Structure 1
């Protein structure tokens, strides 16, 4: 199809034509329509169908795409914000992916302008969020183009308008990219953002990039000119300026510079960090482990959880229970546990910042109680946490517990409490109330009579600093109550003290507030509540009108007063006229005003009576407070005594437990020894019985020869031998006896062996004797 054939086609058909030249022509005609009327039906259809606009800006042909992006830019310039927001989510990703990476410079420029228009007319936050996914693209060209476009957006609108937190966490990843062009564009973006947020950028980014990259950035930052200014305004900023400046409609882009410059100071490195959920990381058995009797286990669990609180920003949750656990650790007898608890509380305060104020009043009392420790490292940790509690809270939150511990029984606690109070008085930007001043002064003046020099010096410093804070007029009545010996020192401290607020500044603040209130209520004097304004006006006008108008308003007597000429008349008038009528005639007060005056007097009388009652109640409350304070002091003393007794009893109990343990050990040893002895006794008893049995056997063996002699005698009686034979037999008997006596052993150990041998010998002899007997029997026959 030739060019002449599709020139006459409708625009809608040209936009969908398969030839790129036809589509290019359709985009050109669409641009002309948008310039003439943004409310055209075709443009309305395109806006209501963002996919068609996306197809236009992502045309496959480079020339047609250039014209399509230009047409989109024209439509955006002529549209209103509510119209632009319909197409943002669909069109912006296409512009970033296809428009910013186009091979034609004009297309890239038009795509960047379209993105700037989306930010100007809609919302910069949503546009940046739609661009962030392209920073993770695989193509370095895509990443480079996206970073450059983001840099253009921040340069045009500035960080007060564009939140730097949207992109600042992505910058370290860009510096880690392998492509040098990406790193170069990241450096340019860093320079732009740093020109608005200052050193906060260094604190956030430098710890996350390489030292060589830090060095390069520092060199670039030195070239930054102070006071970076945005070059464009958003639609909402323009509308706000037009509303505030109805008389001067023609605004310039420089009208937003002052407001954006002031917003510079609000940026902080803390704001750019993501909050960390710490509570979910704590062990579930934390409370149980913190109550372990072995101090090493308590130290171990505190060291374990301390790393969780090192996060630069901690998520704001309810830490009340955790704070109660840390208060218990502050009261621990082990100093290492106390030091670790202080470190955790300090990190928690830095992570929560202003959100930490709700826990300050809970922590001040146990922290001051523990300042009686003399070890410098522990005391330094406690003081640091105390100062942090005041930093993230107010003076009113810490004054009550501090005044309470100023009268503590321990002199060291008194001194540390007063030094802490002095530091807070010097740093506070809010004046204490009259009741707080009275309580602080009363306690400090009383402590001037303390026997400890350090306590008296600290009390003098409290009084002097507080006098500097409240001013000489209010402090005069307190100075009169100070002993003359200490007045000079207190005055010197008052003169040298440096505070951040004072009565003069507070007075200016009050005057400004009253002035602003009077400006807001201009008709306050017309309500009839009082007559001060009208009286002042009459008094001012009196010198000029009294002579000419014959007014009855009295005025100062001039040098030529005619009063002396009418002295008698004045006297007669004074006595002849009623007093009330005279007042009315002389001062010009109407009956209604007089009635109002009487009502005001009655109300004043009622107020005075109420004031007396309130003052008496106040005195009663003060006396009750004094008695309660005395009771508190006495109770604190008793509590300390109980603590000491408890400590002594605990030590005694531990020593008794040790003794019981040792006695139990000795008892077990004795029982073991006793059982051993019993076993040995049994063995010896067995051996003794065995030896007795052996002795019995030996005795039985010793009786055997006698039996043998009986046999021999019977044999000799029966035998019919010759006398010689008888003599031989009789001679053998003592020999046998002698032989038997040889086997009579006394040794119990060899008894059995010897008995066996003797038995065998006896058996042998008996056998021989029986044999002889059998031999002799035939001879007798």
Structure 2
């Protein structure tokens, strides 16, 4: 007996939950799960201890014994399933994190499955946001096994609840980190999660993390995506308690579950990159563009403008843009639509498209700035430019609506330029196809008239486009509503319109018609009139009451007069309706027998009440005056034949007069509306003319400014050339003067060389002779050698006056030195005559060379004189 284990079942359940023996704890978990499943509702007392002390569940999910832990997490699932939302809110904060660390990565499959089920129950009972926040730290855990288990749990969550119920943005931001992990199991689970995201989001998920992956990882993921690309959009498998309640309510009202599924599928298809991305601040990035963006956009060089818009497009090409004031930016882009360089125009259009796509509905307020300039630029014939402009217009339309864009469309669809007209027509067709709201009747009429005008164009493309416009409108409003607009068109055009009608695809849905229960709203007034008619019919038969004068037999006319009603008929016959072309009863057809007695007339004058405004209430009102007339003497008792006519349905004369008055007022309003419509069209045409004139003036102004800038550039260049020419002339003049002086000195020196009174050469002459003469051996010549050479040149009739400008003399092959053997130095040469005489043989050749150089120098001087004289002229 001593070996028998004690019985712990008598202990309270909460005490056994924290018992030191794992078998006791395991049994307590099993007993708790059974008790929870047997409860009738969420308010059962068995839940109270566990709601008051949520720490019990923390110990259960991290039990040191794996078998007990398995049963503890199973008990937690039962507790959440039967205890309801209150159990979720009280225990969520103390159990999810321990389960992520200790249970999701368990080696036991049952423990792992129970932990995942508990996570799903926590999401089902409340909202998924807090649960996902508690799961995210598991993606940064230091143990790779825990990270992989958390990724697998998230895959299960999104597989069951979908990306519309659970926000995928926090997980998408952390996916690149998981793909870069060193553990292959983590990368494999990250791939599974990415594939699950692709099932729900398709291409919308890529902008969030795709750029952070390696090319090989992108290739592997693309291969995985190809396998599921053909699958239909998945449906949500589990629903939140709030969704379940809504579905039950819809089912009770006749909606059914199928409708909820369709709605979920439609909502899942609406998820795109814009919903997932975080808004980015664009203005701060634009300010960092180097060189300055605003200055570059105003540059006269197209390359600067091109680089500026390219840098801007790189900034704007993001999934979502933060709301801010982009008025000035749109004005600059609109101005770029008139740029002379087509590359700048194309990239600017792409910038507008990206900005409109990033702002969505927030871009609607900038439509009036950019739409008209874009449509004006549709005159370009290049396909690439036209496509870029069309894409920008489409994004602007998505941010606005068809009525907002209608004014510009109707203005440019009648433009003189065929390219602008055709581009506007194509834009209108795209708008009609994509709009989700049926245009108003006035807009439909305007579009139909524009389409009819296009049918009479000379270009086949415009005629076909007009037929497509009318066919698309017919698809929206229906054939019956469109038939009146097609009257007068020939069969060929109607056939063409019908062909486009058959192939057109539109998204606009016809507005629901007025519900039939509107008729009962008019019924209560009819029921109110019933009780008034019943007493009148019952009071008519008594024979004691004499019939009124209006219902008696015709009598002789009396001379007495009676006031007429407002419509000119006798008041006694105001309630009767005479057939067309016939008079009322009486001998003359104009008077009533009531005129026979004067006293009753005076008494009845104030008595008759005003004619009722009801369509069929005349007899009831007339019966009120019968008792007073019955007391009057002199009326016969015989019944009157017109009584049956008085009870027939009719419209009173007063109502008829009011109806005619309303018709006249309606005609006046129609005429006024037509006049206002004509006035509006006239004003629109005047506005368009003013816009065209303004555009022409702007173009003229731009052309003048460019011309002025060109002239200024030419003037600056001319001034620079003039200054350079003046400097050249001055230099040449000084050179010429110096050459003249050198020539005159050389001639004077040549003439007085034999005389004893010859003076020494000046500094300039020394420079000239130094450049022109040099001895063959590099030594200076003596005065005797110089004189003898000069005399030989005189005998030959030649004059050699070397100059430093002569290249032949300076760099000749005679081996002359750099001035040491010049004649000027020879005056000062004190060497012996014998030394000087050694170079006399070469001196003769040098003087012959000098003679040639002199003749060349003279010719060059003449050329310079002629050139200088031409320049001065």
Taking structure 1 as the reference length, what is the TM-score of the superposition? Answer: 0.69
Change (3 A) 1:171 1:330: same
| 1:375–1:240 distance in 2 versus 1, CA, 3 Å | closer
Residues 387-439 of structure 1, C-alpha deviation per residue, up to 9 Å, x if partnerless? 34334543212221011123334343234323433443455454433333444
Q: Does 1:379 align with 2:386?
A: yes
Could you tell me which residue of structure 2 aligns to residue 290 of structure 1?
297
Check the 8 A contact 1:206/1:214 in 2, yes or no. Answer: no
How far is 1:343 from its partner? 1.9
Residue 493 of structure 1 corresponds to: 496
- Tell me which residue corresponds to 2:58: 54
Q: Tell me which of 655, 658, 665 is aligned to 2:720.
A: 665
SS of 1:432's equivalent? coil
- Relative distance call for 1:510 and 1:593 in structure 2 (3 A) is farther
Q: 2:314 aligns with which of 307, 315, 319?
A: 307
Per the TM alignment, residue 315 of structure 1 is displaced from its structure 2 partner at its CA by 4.4
Question: Aligned residue for 2:679?
Answer: 624
* Equivalence map 1:15-94=2 (5 Å): 15-21=17-23, 23-24=25-26, 44=48, 46-94=50-98
Residues 245 and 748 of structure 1, relative CA distance in 2, 3 Å threshold: closer
Q: 2:260 matched to 1:259?
A: yes
User: Is 2:124 the partner of 1:117?
Assistant: no
Q: Deviations over 1:160-197 (max 9, x none)?
A: 54455565565666565554544555565566666666
Structure 2 counterpart SS, 1:497: helix
Counting only pairs closer than 5 Å after superposition, residues 623-662 of structure 1 correspond to structure 2 as 623-639=678-694, 641-643=696-698, 645-646=700-701, 649-650=704-705, 652-662=707-717
Aligned length, in residue pairs: 675
Aligned pairs for 1:510-659 within 5 A = 510-511=512-513, 513-515=514-516, 518=518, 523-528=520-525, 578-580=572-574, 591=620, 607-608=662-663, 610-639=665-694, 641-643=696-698, 645-646=700-701, 649-650=704-705, 652-659=707-714
Displacement of 1:383: 2.5
Shift of 1:686: 7.3
Cα distance in 2 for partners of 1:593, 1:215 equals 91
Query: Alignment partner of 2:287: what SS?
Result: coil
Give yes or no for the alignment of 1:236 onto 2:291: no
Deviations 1:26-62 (A, max 9, x none): 6566667756777688964653454453233223333
Contact 1:464 1:492 in 2 (8 A): no
Q: Output the CA distance in 2 between the equivalents of 1:357 and 1:342.
A: 16
- Cα gap change, 1:358 to 1:651, in 2 (>3 Å): closer
| Map of 1:764 onto structure 2 | none
- Name 1:735's counterpart in structure 2: none
Structure 1 segment 451-490 matched on structure 2, within 5 A: 487=490, 490=493
Give the Cα–Cα distance (whole angstroms) in 1 for the partners of residues 142 and 102 of structure 2: 14
Pairing 1:339–2:364 present = no
Distance 1:477 1:91, change over 3 A: closer
Distance, in Å, in 1 between the alignment partners of 2:395 and 2:29 is: 64
1:108 aligned to which of 108, 112, 132: 112
* Contact residue 196 and residue 264 of structure 1 kept, 8 A: no
Q: Following the alignment from structure 1 to structure 2, what is the Cα–Cα distance between the partners of residues 70 and 752?
A: 123
1:281 to 282, 285, 302: 285
Matches within 5 A, 1:389-400: 389-400=396-407
Displacement of 1:94? 0.9
Shift of 1:303: 1.4
2:150 corresponds to: 146
Tell me how far 1:619 sits from its aligned partner: 3.2
Farther-moved stretch of structure 1 (366-375 vs 577-586): 577-586
Which shows bigger deviation, 665-674 or 236-245?
236-245
Decide which moves more: 471-480 or 45-54: 471-480
Contact 1:227 1:261 in 2 (8 A): no
CA distance in 2, matches of 1:753, 1:109: 116
Distance 1:5 1:32 in 2: 19
Q: Distance in 1 between matches of 2:425 and 2:159?
A: 52
Separation in 1 of the partners of 2:497 and 2:717? 64
CA deviations over 1:423-482 (Å, ceiling 9, x no partner): 4345545443333344445566667787888767766765676577656776677667x7
User: Is 1:211 aligned to residue 266 of structure 2?
Assistant: no
Instruction: Assess if the C-alpha contact under 8 Å between 1:447 and 1:459 holds in 2.
Output: yes
Aligned twin of 1:134: 138
Is the 2:410–2:450 Cα contact (8 Å) retained in structure 1?
Answer: yes
| Aligned partners of 1:407 and 1:633 also within 8 Å | no
Note closer, same or farther for the CA distance 1:150–1:288 as it changes in structure 2 (3 Å cut). same
Larger mean Cα displacement after TM superposition, 54-63 or 448-457: 448-457
SS of equivalent to 1:265:
helix
- Structure-1 separation of matches of 2:391 and 2:825: 95
Deviation at 1:22, TM superposition (A): 5.6
Residues 666 and 473 from structure 1, CA distance in 2 versus in 1: closer, same or farther, beyond 3 angstroms?
same
Return the match for 2:332 from 317, 325, 333: 325
Distance change >3 Å, CA 409–CA 230, structure 1 → 2: closer
1:255 CA drift (Å): 7.6
Quick check: 193-202 or 73-82, which moved more?
193-202
Secondary structure of residue in 1 paired with 2:314: helix
Report the CA distance between 1:73 and its aligned residue: 2.9
Tell me what 1:714 maps to: none
Shift of 1:131: 1.6
* SS of match in other structure, 2:339: coil
Aligned to 2:377: 370
Q: Give, in whole Å, the separation in 2 of the partners of 1:594 and 1:230.
A: 72
Specify whether residues 52 and 625 from structure 1 end up closer, same or farther in structure 2 by C-alpha distance, changes over 3 A only: same
Partner of 2:860: none
Matched residue SS, 2:672: helix
Q: How far is the alpha carbon of 1:367 from its aligned partner?
A: 1.2
Alpha-carbon offset, residue 616 of structure 1: 4.0
Contact 1:329–1:338 (8 Å) recurs in 2: yes
Counterparts of 1:243 and 1:206, CA distance in 2: 41
- CA spacing shift, 1:594–1:367, aligned 2, 3 Å: farther
Decide which structure has greater helix share: 1
| Greater Cα offset, 673-682 or 185-194 | 185-194
2: distance between equivalents of 1:472 and 1:71? 65
Distance 1:306 1:18, change over 3 A: same
**Offset at residue 154 of structure 1 (A):** 4.0
Q: Residue 63 of structure 2 contacts residue 69 of structure 2 at CA under 8 Å; is this kept in 1? A: yes
Gaps of 5+ in 1: 249-253, 539-548, 553-568, 704-741, 758-781
Alpha-carbon offset, residue 341 of structure 1: 0.9
